[in-house]
Amino acid sequence: MDLWPKGSAAVFFLLVLFKFSEAQNLCSLPINIILIPENNNIGDIVTTLNAEDGVMAIITSQDPEGFFSISGYNIIADTVLDYETFDPNKPHEVNIECTKADSPPTTENLKIAVLDINDNPPVFEHSQYTLNVNELSKVDTSVGLITAMDPDKDDRLYYQLDSPEGEFNLEANFNPNILVKKHLDYDKVKEVTMILYVQDTLIGSEAEVSHTASTTIVVNIIDIDNRPPWFQPCTETEVGTSIICLMSGYNGKVNAKELVPGPLTLEPGPLMAIDGDKGRNDPIHYTFLGGNDGGIFQIDTDTGSITMREPVETGTIVLSVMAYQRENADQFATTTVILKVVDSSDFPPKFVKSSYEGFISEDAGVDSLVLESKTSNRALRVQATDDDFSNGYNPNLRFEIVDGTDFSITAEGFILMLKAVSPGTVNLEMRVVDTTNDESSTASLSVEVTPGGQQVKMGEFSSGDMAAVGASLAVVIVLCLVCIGLMVHRIKGHNADWKKLSEASVFQSKLGGGSGGPKEGVQYSNEGFQLDDDSGSVNGKLAADLENKLESGLKPQQRQKMMTPSAVLLSPSSPQADSSSLAETIDSEKEVKPILTKERRSEEGYKAVWFKQDIDPNTKEEVVIIPNTGEADGDHEEEDDSEGENRPDVDSGDEEGVSSDL
């Protein structure tokens, strides 16, 4: 059956259909779904309706409300669109109705979607993050993952970590997983502060960086239990990547046969150990391992204090002590305690003076001695005594400065300057210690440091001192020269007198040396001396007086012994013998050397008369000549020697006497 009309009826049907279609499409949209970038301006045209004249368009509804409006045939944005607040699964909907007189209304549905643009920076949830990692963790151990968020959902973020010493780094620039990159030691590094940066453009690309953000990351290094207890004080030493602490042990003293109350005093002390892992500080316990035979000593488990249970006699006691962690006994350390048993003391050592004062120049130099006064070159010396010793001298004393590093005291008590000190007064405290029992006492020391050049250095003299010494030496030399001159003058003045006197004595002894004594009618003559015209010599009268005194002073037997066959006898009728003939006669018998001297001489053939002191020829003192013969001569010499030993000064002149070696 043909449903379409034919002829005029068909034409009419077509006209009616066209009119109906026109009435149904009073307006239309170019496209029903429109994409609009976010952050638009208010009043921007979203789209424009297609409509004939006379058609009126209105927005009947929209979801959400109030975002858009219509002006004429233009759809207008009434607000700034934000992709971050837009639900991509539910775009904005705007319903539009177009009307015209005598025509049915037309409706259009417009869907508006918001496009995302890169308009927001990335954001970290916190401005600072704190992470923890154990010390000694292996390299590439993960510490933590910290990410940022970007409201621009389509942006990809890139990270960069700034670690001061390179201890940590990221797994990748797009993966902010933080990894360990170096050996971590709690004792060296306890925490690391880093900065984590993020950006929404590829790091290293030529694209302009649009948005960035950063956050602070603090990584705490956790101290693990990897070290035993350390006895204190100790010296830390690094061995490879490990640290050990060396300690040589403790020393102390106890008095023999005395029970010491309370904990023993130890050096260095007190006995104490700490956890080698300082960040943990686990509790430490103590116990004896050996050396406490008989239980004389006991140790406090918690504090390590050692006390006595009973007195000890003598000797040295060595105790072995172990310190261990209370919660982990596998972490332990041992040390030794050496106790020396000493005799008790009744008195401590003490300084001779309670205070001392010294002086030193600021330019004296290091290791220079402090002096007693500004003008003295004598070093200041401090001394101490100990009443436990009868003479007060204790050889076991030690001097020390209690506080201060500018000066020190030697073992002998001298004060040394250790470093340059500015002018002024330095007040110090000194201590003297008995090293056998540690008893001590103190004294004060005041050292005045004078400006340079105002004090004579030790071992040097000033120009004034040198001038004084030179003048003194010059005076002494002049006095010595004067004395020597007087002695030479006196010796020369009396030389002739002594010579004549000696010759007269020898001549007289030769003449009287016969066995029968002097013969009758024989005359002794010494005219050779009488003819001497030297006014300073002994004259003939003096020689005659000497001859008479010699004869009268000798006993008959002595005079007989003095006579010798070699004597020259002169009779009154005989011609006088001159000195030359006399000398020839004497030399023919035996060489005789007459001389008058103060010195005894024992040469062979030497005849001498010696005087203990000078004899004044003008005096009338009696001169006795005692001859020496044979063994008697030796006896006299021994007696003279013994007497000379007992006399403090043979030239004292206290006695007068003359002897003769014949």
Q: Do residues 218 and 132 touch, judged by C-beta distance below 8 A? A: no
Tokens of 455: 């004090």
- Segment 381-389 shows an average pLDDT of 93
Tokens of 394: 């204790």
Q: List pLDDT tens digits, range 100-150.
A: 888 888 899 999 998 888 888 899 999 999 999 999 999 999 999 999 998
Of 156-170, 535-549, 570-584, the one with minimum mean pLDDT is 570-584
At 336, which helix (H) or strand (E)? strand 332-342
> For the whole model, what pTM was predicted?
0.44
Query: By three-state DSSP, how is residue 150 classified?
Result: coil
Strand partners, 371: 359, 379
Does residue 576 have a pLDDT over 70? no
Residue 46's nearest CA partner among 58, 62, 35 is 35
Banded pLDDT at 491 (limits 50, 70, 90): confident
Distance between CA atoms of 576 and 451, rounded to whole angstroms?
A: 93
Residue 380's nearest CA partner among 447, 333, 302, 449 is 447
Residue of higher predicted confidence among 333 and 209? 333
Strand partners, 308: 297
At 640, which helix (H) or strand (E)? helix 630-646
- CA atoms within a 13 Å half-sphere pointing along the CA-CB vector of 269: 19
Q: List pLDDT tens digits, range 166-224.
A: 999 999 999 999 999 999 999 889 999 999 999 988 887 777 777 899 999 999 999 99
Mean pLDDT, the chain, whole residue set: 77
Q: Do residues 112 and 46 touch, judged by C-beta distance below 8 A? A: yes
Residue of higher predicted confidence among 184 and 509? 184
Q: What is the pLDDT of residue 611?
A: 54
Phi and psi angles of residue 485, each rounded to the nearest 5 degrees, phi first: -60, -45
Strand partners, 71: 74
Strands 440-450, 355-361: parallel, antiparallel or unpaired by DSSP?
parallel
Q: What is the pLDDT of residue 5?
A: 44
Q: What is the pLDDT of residue 628?
A: 52
Does residue 464 have a pLDDT over 80? no
Q: List pLDDT tens digits, range 256-295.
A: 888 889 999 999 989 999 999 988 889 999 999 977 777 8
Q: What is the pLDDT of residue 558?
A: 47
Residue of higher predicted confidence among 315 and 33? 33
Q: What is the pLDDT of residue 292?
A: 75
Q: What is the pLDDT of residue 476?
A: 93
Q: Do residues 406 and 316 touch, judged by C-beta distance below 8 A? A: no
Strand partners, 288: 321
Residues contacting residue 652 through CB under 8 Å, at least 6 positions apart: none
Phi and psi angles of residue 121, each rounded to the nearest 5 degrees, phi first: -80, 160
